[in-house]
Amino acid sequence: MNVKMRTVNTSVIKKDAKALVTGKPVFTDDLAPGDCLIVKVLRSPHAHALIRKIDTEKAKKVDGIVCILTYQDVPNKRFTMAGQTYPEPSPYDRLILDDRMRFVGDAAAIVAGETEEAVDHAMRLIKVDYEVLEPVLDFRKAKDHKVLIHPEDNWESLCPVGADNRRNLCACGGEEHGDVEGLLEKCDYVVEQVYHTKANQQAMMETFRAYSYLDAYGRLNMVASTQVTFHVRRILAHALDIPKSRIRVIKPRIGGGFGAKQTVVAEVYPAIVTMKTGRSAKIIYSRYESQIASSPRHEMEIRVRVGADKNGILRAIDVYTLSNTGAYGEHGPTTVGLSGHKSIPLYRTPRAFRFKYDVVYTNCMSAGAYRGYGATQGIFAVESAINELAEKIGMDKVKIRELNMVREGDIMPAYYGETLKSCALDRCMARAKEMMEWDKKYPSVDMGNGKVRGVGVAMAMQGSAISGVDVASVELRLNDDGFYTLMIGASDMGTGCDTTLAQVASDCLECDLDQIVVHGTDTDVSPYDSGSYASSTMYLTGMAVVKACGEMRDKILDKGAEYLSCEKDTLEFDGSRVWQPAGGLEISLKDIGNKVMCSNNNMLSAGASHTSPVSPPPFMVGMAEVEVDKETGEAELIDYVAVVDCGTTINPNLARIQTEGGLAQGIGMALYEDITYTDKGQMIQNSFMQYKLPSRLDVGNIRVEFESSYEPTGPFGAKSIGEIVINTPSPAIADAIACAVGARVRELPITAEKIYREIKI
């Protein structure tokens, strides 16, 4: 299609901006009916226990209590809360309520009542007799432990991911290409180190929440703060054991997701209350619940062996990842893959690679999807190892990357054998180096006041959608007066896809943005989309928009030909009219829109789905400048430079904010955000008092630029942006600190204490 750019690559304001900045009631809890039952979950105080007896009699007598449910009241049919395409790789290991408690915070009972006070009162009166069992809290000892987390017979793994509940294994596997051991043996320099990342919380400002009601047809309607509207429908059908046709799921505005809401954390609880009582019901997670019983990043321990010849050319790389999925297996089998698949391919030179992994169950909170999805963990490890290797060789850390980085046109054996059609990683590196004034600052500058500034570098990649799996669909309608309705199944979670997808449509249809009304997402109305995750929305749903617009243009020409009584191939459509360059005939789009409302047999509607056999990686380079106090080990981030290749930036402002936001989260992960447990399995960082999110005083100065490549399989050359941006801070900051004071910290977060213990100057 040959069209001029109208709004693509322009920083238009989000369509929902005015409602958001004036505080209009557009979020889940703002929309819930006033007579909703309040639903809360009574949570296990034990990391591993069996419920011998649960006495709810007293609690049921509390004034205003309508419904109390225990494991005896729910279907004995296991399901997964992971929002993934069916059949899910995540094992079916959950019940809505179970008699086995698998982590502190696991659901023991559901209480619903007219008021929050009544529910709180009733929760205190429920007597649970627990048989406390030995918990498995150390993920290094979980595999083949004598204590099983999921001994139940109806545990089920639908996909061949190497899961075995009799070994506490949620998944295992690996792949090998070339002679890793042989090549490593011949290397002049080899680094072997172990890196450890934690179960960081997404900590989106809006906690998990949902409400449900029965509509006029007796169907279960669920309004949920979710990234995966269609998966919620399927998962509820599995959990409640009712047909999908009886469920409708609606997504209003969402107060952030970052992957947390790619797991159906809260929806089952109000849903089962509505099914049991016929009443509308809502659940609003407290921050405490969102911290202790949700879907954080998988904790991983990653062993990297990487070797180079005397010139600094990489020869072989070997990665082993041990991932902690916690009590349940949501996203366990898939996140781990990215720890190798999105770190090893950053380098073109290794002749051999090996990637092996185990994903284990423990009695910690279940993990889930968090921006980066395993790539973040793998990139921290591999990029740190490359930095350590450069130190061993005595080579500049930018130089080792310039020698070895992946380039456009390369075939990537560790990235599903894909050929790299778009890559500006080399330009990203060159520009970042310039912005940071690397040559002047590397490796460190003594500030003369007991503080030293160091600089560090890291590269990153991600994917754009899950190749051969994810599906995005859109429907486009022409309305009277010639405006369009764009129905999408992708979930705008604040990222702005309702706007950016309209930008794509606006360019394809050569019309103003205001002429495109976007509707998303309602499973009764929207076309199927696997959901907003895996960096898929712009790349995949954007292409579905391009396709649908092409079909729409064709149909408009058909109608034009009919109304002008001439041959279609003599006509052109310019966005506002169908006209005949040779003959002078024309009809406006407005007239076509109005005419089709009368005496017409062909609806002007176009629908398209898109799936992709490839997942083109975006790339970026991050550089950190960190000042370390030699006396205390305290590290302060001074400057962060990031240069990103996400293909065409459809909306440069929103791409920039995605980048700055992802970097700030990455900075939190690198320096502040920790998840630890007591020896009884109590999670310690259970509020924002203990779980330190970076404030605006902690992020230093963040500077972002784009070096665009053009991805031929993406809409207008676009790839993804959402996830990659969180991947560089941990390795770049770790390296800046190592450069400053010689302290190489391999476990996140990199606190002053850990630095102090390793200071070598």
Partner 1 sequence: MQIEFTLNGRLIYEETRDDETLFHLLRRKGCYSVKCGCETENCGLCTVLVNGVSRLSCSYLAARADGCDIVTLEGIQKEAEEFGSFLSAEGAEQCGFCSPGLIMNVLAMEKELDSYEEEKVKEYLAGNLCRCSGYMGQLRAVNKYLSRGENRNEC
Neighbours of 446 (CB within 10 A): 12
Q: Does residue 693 bind partner 1 (CB under 8 A)? A: yes
The least distance separating partner 1 from the CB of residue 203, rounded to whole angstroms, comes to 6
SS3 477: strand
Q: By CB under 8 A, name the one of 302, 663, 733, 743 that touches partner 1.
A: 663
Candidates 27-35, 82-90, 379-387, 591-599; binding stretch for partner 1 (CB under 8 A): 27-35
Q: Does residue 22 bind partner 1 (CB under 8 A)? A: yes
Q: By CB under 8 A, name the one of 4, 310, 696, 760 that touches partner 1.
A: 696
Which residues, numbered 341-400, are part of the site for partner 1 (CB under 8 A)?
A: none
Q: What is the secondary structure of 67-81 as a DSSP string? A: EEE-GGGS----B--
The least distance separating partner 1 from the CB of residue 269, rounded to whole angstroms, comes to 19
Output 23 or 417, the one with its CB closest to partner 1. Answer: 23
Side-by-side strand order, sheet with 281-284:
65-69, 107-113, 37-43, 281-284, 209-214, 220-224, 247-250
Side-by-side strand order, sheet with 444-446:
444-446, 451-461, 619-629, 635-645, 701-706
How far is Cα 589 from Cα 510, in angstroms, rounded to an integer? 11
The least distance separating partner 1 from the CB of residue 172, rounded to whole angstroms, comes to 33
By CB under 8 A, how many residues form the interface with partner 1? 58
Going 432 to 435 to 439 to 440, the CA torsion angle's sign is: negative
The least distance separating partner 1 from the CB of residue 284, rounded to whole angstroms, comes to 9
Output 424 or 664, the one with its CB closest to partner 1. Answer: 664
Q: By CB under 8 A, name the one of 76, 407, 631, 688 that touches partner 1.
A: 688
Helix (H) or strand (E) holding 192: strand 189-197
Candidates 19-27, 263-271, 602-610, 615-623; binding stretch for partner 1 (CB under 8 A): 19-27
The least distance separating partner 1 from the CB of residue 170, rounded to whole angstroms, comes to 28
Q: By CB under 8 A, name the one of 654, 671, 721, 732 that touches partner 1.
A: 654
| Residue spans of beta strands (DSSP E) within 362-443 | 411-412, 418-419
The least distance separating partner 1 from the CB of residue 139, rounded to whole angstroms, comes to 26
CA distances in angstroms from 300 to 51, 414, 537, listed in the order given: 31, 20, 27
Q: Does residue 204 bind partner 1 (CB under 8 A)? A: yes
How far is Cα 110 from Cα 66, in angstroms, rounded to an integer? 11
Q: Does residue 687 bind partner 1 (CB under 8 A)? A: yes
The least distance separating partner 1 from the CB of residue 677, rounded to whole angstroms, comes to 20
The vertex-337 CA angle with 332 and 340, nearest 5°, equals 140
Q: Evaluate whether 332 touches 357 at the Cβ level (below 8 Å).
A: no
Q: Evaluate whether 758 touches 632 at the Cβ level (below 8 Å).
A: no
The tokens describing 431, both together, are: 């520009």
The least distance separating partner 1 from the CB of residue 445, rounded to whole angstroms, comes to 22
The least distance separating partner 1 from the CB of residue 252, rounded to whole angstroms, comes to 12
Q: Does residue 749 bind partner 1 (CB under 8 A)? A: no
Q: Which residues contact 65 (CB under 8 A, 6 or more apart)?
A: 59, 111, 112, 113, 114, 118, 119, 122
The tokens describing 159, both together, are: 């996909």
How far is Cα 90 from Cα 323, in angstroms, rounded to an integer? 14
Output 653 or 751, the one with its CB closest to partner 1. Answer: 653
Q: Does residue 138 bind partner 1 (CB under 8 A)? A: no
Output 120 or 402, the one with its CB closest to partner 1. Answer: 120
The contact pattern for partner 1, residues 205-234, with x = CB under 8 A and - = no contact, is: xxx---------------------------
H helix intervals, 496-588? 497-509, 542-564
Q: Does residue 121 bind partner 1 (CB under 8 A)? A: no
The least distance separating partner 1 from the CB of residue 725, rounded to whole angstroms, comes to 9
Candidates 133-141, 164-172, 442-450, 649-657; binding stretch for partner 1 (CB under 8 A): 649-657
Output 582 or 689, the one with its CB closest to partner 1. Answer: 689
Candidates 212-220, 508-516, 562-570, 656-664; binding stretch for partner 1 (CB under 8 A): 656-664
Output 49 or 675, the one with its CB closest to partner 1. Answer: 675
Neighbours of 295 (CB within 10 A): 30
Which residues, numbered 474-513, are part of the site for partner 1 (CB under 8 A)?
A: 493-496
Output 99 or 698, the one with its CB closest to partner 1. Answer: 698
Judging by DSSP bridges, how do beta strands 352-361 and 314-326 pair with one another? parallel
Q: Which residues contact 636 (CB under 8 A, 6 or more apart)?
A: 626, 627, 628, 700
Which residues, numbered 250-289, are part of the site for partner 1 (CB under 8 A)?
A: 253-256, 258, 286-288
Candidates 150-158, 317-325, 519-527, 660-668; binding stretch for partner 1 (CB under 8 A): 660-668
The least distance separating partner 1 from the CB of residue 109, rounded to whole angstroms, comes to 22
Report the Cα–Cα distance between both ends of the chain, in Å, rounded.
61
The least distance separating partner 1 from the CB of residue 552, rounded to whole angstroms, comes to 28
- Strand partners of residue 473: 609
Q: By CB under 8 A, name the one of 661, 715, 742, 749 that touches partner 1.
A: 661
Q: Does residue 595 bind partner 1 (CB under 8 A)? A: no
Output 202 or 648, the one with its CB closest to partner 1. Answer: 202
Candidates 190-198, 427-435, 699-707, 746-754; binding stretch for partner 1 (CB under 8 A): 699-707
Q: By CB under 8 A, name the one of 146, 440, 697, 760 that touches partner 1.
A: 697
The least distance separating partner 1 from the CB of residue 253, rounded to whole angstroms, comes to 7
- Strand partners of residue 111: 40, 68
Q: Does residue 27 bind partner 1 (CB under 8 A)? A: yes
The least distance separating partner 1 from the CB of residue 21, rounded to whole angstroms, comes to 3
Nearest partner of 604 among 646, 533, 555, 656, judged by Cα:
555
Q: Which residue's structure tokens are 């997670």?
A: 285
The least distance separating partner 1 from the CB of residue 326, rounded to whole angstroms, comes to 22
Long-range pairs of 143-152 with CB within 8 A, sequence gap ≥ 24 = 143/167, 143/168, 143/169, 143/358, 143/360, 144/168, 147/48, 149/48, 149/102, 149/327, 149/361, 149/362, 149/363, 150/91, 150/93, 150/102, 150/361, 152/78, 152/100
Nearest partner of 297 among 755, 748, 698, 753, judged by Cα:
748
Neighbours of 311 (CB within 10 A): 9
Output 283 or 306, the one with its CB closest to partner 1. Answer: 283
Q: Evaluate whether 741 touches 628 at the Cβ level (below 8 Å).
A: yes
Residues in contact with partner 1 by CB under 8 A are 11, 13-14, 16-27, 29-30, 117, 202-207, 253-256, 258, 286-288, 493-496, 651, 653-654, 656-657, 659-665, 687-689, 693, 695-697, 699, 702, 704
